[in-house]
Amino acid sequence: MHSLRAPRFLLTGAAAFLAAAVASAQPAAAVPARVQVRGVVDGNTVVESARRYLGVPYSLGGSTPRAFDCSGFVRYVFQLHGLSVPRTAREQSALGQRPSSGDLQPGDLLFFYGGEGAQHIAIYVGHDSIIHASSGGKRVKLDKLAGRGTHRTWFGQRLIAVRRLLPAEGTFQLPGSLAWSSFPGSDQDPLSAFTLPSLF
């Protein structure tokens, strides 16, 4: 009679194969989608964040990505970087420093006359362009600030104030995969290896 017992080396090999399969099926350590770090936030960083919301609908009183009004949009974008600003355009116009005439930089806040002081606000993008939540355009959009020659824009005719809040100490959101990719198989917090420069 033949024995039904498998040779020990076959059982050992099968067990090893099964163990390897189970191990390979185990999920890798979870990598967060976004990682927050502190550092100096400049105007270009704020403009980049603002551009992500192009096309979001305009709504008076809106302050979330479902819908924005002009000051709600500015407040939301700055809060993405840990920078707190008031809710209304009039309150926001009292912040920061007034740059020299003609010295516009990305991230500057631009205020426009609307009948009762500062009634509209936009973020300067650069190259004579602004980004703002437009009541006329019904969405977050880009527009020319001044225009050229005789083709002066509404904004160029009604600009009454510029305020500069940046650079400032704030926060950034980095992709988790980017932060962790330099530390494969390590339990070390990769952000402990990064020191962002500070101007303060």
Return d(Cα 81, Cα 74) in angstroms, integer. Answer: 12
Asked, for residue 58, whether it belongs to a domain, the answer is yes
HEC secondary structure over 91-151:
HHCCCCECCCCCCCCCCCEEEEECCCCEEEEEEEEECCEEEEEECCCCEEEEEECCEECCE
Beta bridge partners of 64: 67
Burial class for 96, CB neighbours closer than 10 Å (0-12, 13-18, 19+): middle
Asked, for residue 96, whether it belongs to a domain, the answer is yes
CATH number, domain at 52?
3.90.1720.10
Asked, for residue 67, whether it belongs to a domain, the answer is yes
Of the listed ranges 1-10, 83-92, 98-107, 153-162, the least confidently predicted one is 1-10
* Residues of the domain holding 60: 42-164
Asked, for residue 11, whether it belongs to a domain, the answer is no
> Which two structure tokens, joined as six digits, stand for 92?
């926001």
Look at residue 102 in the predicted model and tell me its pLDDT: 87
pLDDT band at residue 174 under the 50/70/90 scheme: confident
Asked, for residue 152, whether it belongs to a domain, the answer is yes
Asked, for residue 145, whether it belongs to a domain, the answer is yes
Is the pLDDT assigned to residue 163 strictly greater than 70?
yes
SS3 18: helix
- How large is the C-alpha radius of gyration of the chain? 27
In this predicted model, what pLDDT tens digit does every residue of 1-58 receive, in sequence order? 544 454 443 444 444 444 455 445 555 557 678 888 999 999 999 999 999 999 999 9
Is the pLDDT assigned to residue 92 strictly greater than 70?
yes
User: Do the Cβ atoms of 146 and 152 come closer than 8 Å?
Assistant: yes
pTM equals 0.74
- CA 52: distance to chain centroid? 8
Look at residue 32 in the predicted model and tell me its pLDDT: 76
Asked, for residue 35, whether it belongs to a domain, the answer is no
Q: What is the number of structural domains in the chain?
A: 1
Please report, for residues 46, 74, 86, 119, the alpha-carbon distance to residue 114 in angstroms, rounded to integers and kept in the order given.
25, 18, 19, 5
Asked, for residue 169, whether it belongs to a domain, the answer is no
Look at residue 86 in the predicted model and tell me its pLDDT: 97
Better pLDDT: 56 or 177: 56
